[in-house]
Structure 1
Amino acid sequence: MNITVSGLNGSGLVLQNSEGDDLAVASNGLKTFSKRLASGSAYAISVKSRPRSPLQTCTVSNGTGNVASENVTNITVTCADVVSRFAYSPAGPGWSTVSAYKVESTGALTSLTPATVSAPGGPWSSAVDPAGRFLYIGSDTSVYRFRIDGAVSPVGVPDSRTTINSGNGTRTVAVHPNGKFVYAVNFFSDDIAVFNINAVDGSLSSAGPPVPTGQQCERFFFDPTATFAYTICLPEQKVYGYRVNGDTGALTPLGEVLSVSSGGYAIATHPEKRILYAVDPANNMSAYAINSDGSLSLIGAGVPSSAAFSLVVEPNGKYVYAVNGAAIRVYSVNTDGSLSFTNTVNFGTGMAYQITSDAAGKFIYVAHTTAARIRVYRIDPADGNLINDVPGSPYVVSGTNSVVVTY
């Protein structure tokens, strides 16, 4: 089978045939799978690993069929750079709004019209479906759904959790990578509510009874295959794991899988490697391999650090950023997934609740909660250091508890 690849700028693209044949692609042009298929054999070409540095999405056309008597020559793979479009920031406890922005090519934020939308009940966290069509906001009383149409437009009424642990403090919302499920981590009821996503309008419906967690948990990260997910519970200083059913959204508890620092809700997973990052009880920033059963194994030695409240691995998987108080610690990812400390960026006083990356891995966004600012830094692709030259940053907001960036 011959495949024509175009638009490739990044590295790491791997195509896969359903027969199990992988094809690493390093350049544009005509490519051929090494495994020959007999006449009449079925094929289904998909993107196994997308290109990074720069991060790209690749689309397969004419990728399924049956081999005839001649070579298959009409399969094309077209790649394009990921471009961030919008950013949204829930105001946090005591507030009832979500700020909406356009993300400029410089990483700068420009307020949309309207600049805010209503989300009563202290909106805490935010997540966007993989297609970038719907925004989900978690508050103390509800999970809200908004349509993304260049601004943020409410779709009907909020999807209330009144039938599933209403008012028990949704501190984290997360969307399954397949775009079919929303997970709401409830701080006060110590459980996770699972919702089905309607593929047409993004509305939510219960996918079953809530799943127990530890005490007062936040964050929710999937491993790269979405086979496992993890949340962190600060009073217990524990990470809890779950096996994820991608067909039903169901979570099967694995129990406690890791002990962590008492200094914050800092865990994150690598976008490509089966690795989870966390701060251990001795305040070492550490990397843990995610085993086939969802358990975790330490990789090498941790890096002496300080406690951290939030972690992010930028989408290219080369750098990790940890925020605690008003400082960001920068780490580079080694070949085995372990970390090396690079630098510290200080930006004042107070507490930053969350740190995140744009969709392309070019910028870092910090929700500087106590200062009511959104801070933006440009990532130096050479070493991952943060450059404070984004126009207009920091941005003054009524309140900010998290930031999510769409593409």
Structure 2
Amino acid sequence: MRWSYLAIILTAQAHPLAAQFVYSPNSHDGTVSGFSINPNTGALTPIPGSPFIAFNAGLPQSVVVDPTNKFAYTANTFSNNVSAFTINQSTGALTSPPPYTYAAGNGPTAVAVHPTGKFLYVTNYNDDTVSAYTINPGSGALTPVAGSPFATGRDAGNGLVVTPSGKFLYVTNGGGSVSAFSVDPGSGALALLSGSPFDLYGGNGDAIAADPSGKFLYTVSDQFFGTAAAYDINTGTGALTSVAGSPFTTGDSASSVAVHPSGKFAYVTNFYDGNVAVFAINTSNGALTAIPGSPFATGLNPVSVAIDSTGKFAYVAGGAKDQLFAYTVNTSTGALTPVAGGPVSTGSDPVSLAVTSAAPVVAPGNPEPVSASPGAGSAMSQMMTFTFTDPRGFTDFDVVNILINNFLDGRSACYLAYNSIGALYLVPDSGGGPLTGTTLNGKGNGVSNSQCSVASAGSTAVGNGATLTLTLNMTFTSSFAGNKVTYLAARDIAGNNSGWQALGTWAVPGATTFPSAGGVSPARGNGSSQAFTFTFSDTKGYQDLGVVDILINNFLDGRQACYLAYSRPFNVLYLVNDTGTALSPGLQLNGSGTVSNSQCTVSAAGSSASGSGNTLTLLLNLSFTPAFDGNQVIYMAARDSTDANNSGWQALGSWTVQ
């Protein structure tokens, strides 16, 4: 292992900063150099106070910035520890708070942060292990994960990466293999994947990077003149398969690799050639093709390359003359052009790079639930699909929620939460306490409580553009029988929240009432007007029905609602006023005229009531006001002519007023 050009390339999704910064550890000085980035030109300016001392740090080899841009960490090979820094959000200056360092294994070399910012991982070259830590979100302090360190393979430590989904972690081993782990989304603990370690087809892996989609993995090696190996990642299992044509020739002694944020280009530093090879990535199969003009010259002995989060600039650390080189990136071709002003000086022997994220152009709007499908129905088991959207892309989701119950209450409910690192949780019957989690795609054990269960097999989570789609293999218990509302909610990583939205209903078989509310058609839809058909039944015949009720609102509340009462004996329909305290004048159906409040209007024309056998059918010609827009639940209830028997309120449909 050649300490002088060990390169670890790490990227992070981040919250916005006032400025963007580059950090490079200087292995022979025990310091970290910091530079601010000119957002227009990409030029670098030393941060006041740089280089920053890494206290008690011997041979810092790699650096990473957490996704919030609040903390930076270095892996220190000779002192067997990790240094922690806080980042000044305005100036980029680094401060190392006590206790300054945290114990690692023997020979820590590479460091990576989980995409959620909850966990830190460090490879220990001489122990062949990975140390795992939880990160305190307030202070950045590290606490070892239970079971850490985790065994890898021979000579572990030259390359380390966590996939963008946070589900898998990969380590290159000196024996010519990659160790692959699954990441527990709750604890951060690692478990070796079946088939791990996977053979490398390009010699020993000196560095590793994953593409932004999480579909492809790239390793580089200085063996066989210099190669880059490409692998397809099975997004369900994490298993690696060599891409056709791999490995690909790079240059003499490939030392680091980085993937452009667009996923279209890969950049490889060639230590002895003094250049960067640039490849176009086939986004379908992951294969690499050198772009025109590649390779691009750098200084002597480049050891590390990083691309900023905007994709406009590239930076290369050169060990021979202790310099950092800046380039603009042609985002169409991937080509590099040196930034005017030439390289900047670092400390002694810069060995890796980390770039904080730029303030993104944030799309307006909040995350929103879109639909539940089926929107209505009845069965003990059902494959249900839930769709959510976020204007900043599906990776911006923090958590999405599904709550199925009579009312908006997380107690004694089928209450599910799916988070950004791919775990599905089911809330206990009490509505609180420890959560039971599972992975999807048949790789978990499923989850259950007294109301429902979700099987991992057949359940999937798929993100595409702005949309996240959950397909869940659901089964309900007999004790949960009755008519339920399906509520959805979504929250993004910045904390923006959609609030609960009623987007469907579901009847769990087994409940009986006398008399009963039968149903509504259509049971799910949208629009500003609709002719609805409502059915009610009484085992003594429809003539035994007294008053039947229909309440359309986002909650079971007669105020500011479209709240209707039909008297069967008098064939009169009433509309409750806005405050829920009085009835409108009665409306004779099959006649003329209307009744209105601030939420809705019922027209007698086109409305009717008819009875046959045990069933009463109401056809109501309804229109809604613009002020009543949003997702509403359709509740129904029936009582008999003696008022002695009542169905209670039943959620039997949902409607989006537009």
TM-score of the superposed pair, with normalisation by structure 2: 0.47
Match of 1:289 in 2: 232
Query: Which amino acid in structure 2 is aligned with residue 364 of structure 1?
Result: A
Across the aligned residues of Structure 1 and Structure 2, the Cα RMSD in angstroms comes to: 2.3
C-alpha distance in structure 1 between counterparts of 2:227 and 2:48, whole Å: 44
The match for 1:346 among 282, 297, 300 is 297
Deviation at residue 263 of structure 1 after TM alignment: 6.2
Match of 2:3 in 1: none
Is 2:239 the partner of 1:305?
no
Contact 1:84–1:358 (Cα < 8 Å) also in 2:
no
Contact 2:173–2:205 (Cα < 8 Å) also in 1:
no
Deviation at residue 83 of structure 1 after TM alignment: 8.2
Give the number of the structure with larger relative contact order, counting CA–CA contacts within 8 Å between residues 6 or more apart.
Answer: 1
Match of 2:48 in 1: 113
Match of 1:127 in 2: 64
C-alpha distance in structure 2 between counterparts of 1:116 and 1:252, whole Å: 38
Structure 2 counterparts to residues 13-162 of structure 1, below 5 A: 85-92=20-27, 94-105=28-39, 106-119=41-54, 120-140=57-77, 141=79, 142-149=81-88, 150=91, 151-161=93-103
Is 2:170 the partner of 1:253?
no
Is 2:323 the partner of 1:373?
yes
Query: Which amino acid in structure 2 is aligned with residue 378 of structure 1?
Result: T
Deviation at residue 260 of structure 1 after TM alignment: 3.7
Secondary structure at the aligned position of 2:130 is classed as strand
Larger Rg computed on CA atoms: 2
Is 2:305 the partner of 1:355?
yes
Provide closer, same or farther for how the CA distance between residues 173 and 340 of structure 1 changes in structure 2, counting only shifts above 3 A. same
Contact 1:144–1:158 (Cα < 8 Å) also in 2:
yes
Match of 1:392 in 2: 341
Unmatched segments (≥5 aa) in structure 1: 1-56, 60-79
C-alpha distance in structure 2 between counterparts of 1:294 and 1:249, whole Å: 16
Q: Percent identity at matched positions?
A: 30
Match of 1:225 in 2: 165
Contact 2:177–2:200 (Cα < 8 Å) also in 1:
yes
The match for 1:178 among 116, 121, 134 is 116
Deviation at residue 98 of structure 1 after TM alignment: 0.7
Contact 2:202–2:220 (Cα < 8 Å) also in 1:
yes
Cα deviation, 1:220-269, whole Å, max 9, x if unaligned, reads 112231211111123x1211111111211111123211324336513211
Contact 2:202–2:228 (Cα < 8 Å) also in 1:
no
Match of 2:376 in 1: none
Query: Which amino acid in structure 2 is aligned with residue 124 of structure 1?
Result: Q
Match of 1:215 in 2: 154
Match of 2:275 in 1: 327
C-alpha distance in structure 1 between counterparts of 2:167 and 2:356, whole Å: 23
Deviation at residue 58 of structure 1 after TM alignment: 11
Query: Which amino acid in structure 2 is aligned with residue 316 of structure 1?
Result: S
Contact 2:299–2:318 (Cα < 8 Å) also in 1:
no
C-alpha distance in structure 1 between counterparts of 2:255 and 2:96, whole Å: 31
Provide closer, same or farther for how the CA distance between residues 108 and 96 of structure 1 changes in structure 2, counting only shifts above 3 A. same
Cα deviation, 1:57-102, whole Å, max 9, x if unaligned, reads 899xxxxxxxxxxxxxxxxxxxx9x98611111001x321111111
C-alpha distance in structure 2 between counterparts of 1:259 and 1:182, whole Å: 25
C-alpha distance in structure 2 between counterparts of 1:284 and 1:117, whole Å: 35
Contact 1:223–1:275 (Cα < 8 Å) also in 2:
no
Match of 1:199 in 2: 137
Deviation at residue 406 of structure 1 after TM alignment: 0.5
Query: Which amino acid in structure 1 is aligned with residue 210 of structure 2?
Result: T
Match of 2:537 in 1: none
Provide closer, same or farther for how the CA distance between residues 226 and 214 of structure 1 changes in structure 2, counting only shifts above 3 A. same
Query: Which amino acid in structure 2 is aligned with residue 117 of structure 1?
Result: F
Contact 2:172–2:204 (Cα < 8 Å) also in 1:
no
C-alpha distance in structure 2 between counterparts of 1:223 and 1:88, whole Å: 22
Deviation at residue 273 of structure 1 after TM alignment: 4.0
**More deviation in 298-307 or 394-403?**
298-307
Match of 2:432 in 1: none
Contact 1:88–1:126 (Cα < 8 Å) also in 2:
yes
Q: Which runs of 4+ in 1 moved over 3 A?
A: 279-286, 303-307
Secondary structure at the aligned position of 1:246 is classed as coil
Cα deviation, 1:126-158, whole Å, max 9, x if unaligned, reads 111101001111112221111111211222221
The count of corresponding residues between Structure 1 and Structure 2 is 322
TM-score of the superposed pair, with normalisation by structure 1: 0.74
Deviation at residue 289 of structure 1 after TM alignment: 1.1
**More deviation in 132-141 or 207-216?**
207-216
Unmatched segments (≥5 aa) in structure 2: 1-12, 358-658
Contact 1:288–1:297 (Cα < 8 Å) also in 2:
yes
Provide closer, same or farther for how the CA distance between residues 156 and 189 of structure 1 changes in structure 2, counting only shifts above 3 A. same
C-alpha distance in structure 2 between counterparts of 1:374 and 1:58, whole Å: 23
Provide closer, same or farther for how the CA distance between residues 185 and 334 of structure 1 changes in structure 2, counting only shifts above 3 A. same
Provide closer, same or farther for how the CA distance between residues 260 and 368 of structure 1 changes in structure 2, counting only shifts above 3 A. farther
**More deviation in 211-220 or 284-293?**
284-293
**More deviation in 297-306 or 237-246?**
297-306
Contact 1:159–1:203 (Cα < 8 Å) also in 2:
no
Secondary structure at the aligned position of 2:116 is classed as coil
C-alpha distance in structure 2 between counterparts of 1:135 and 1:275, whole Å: 26
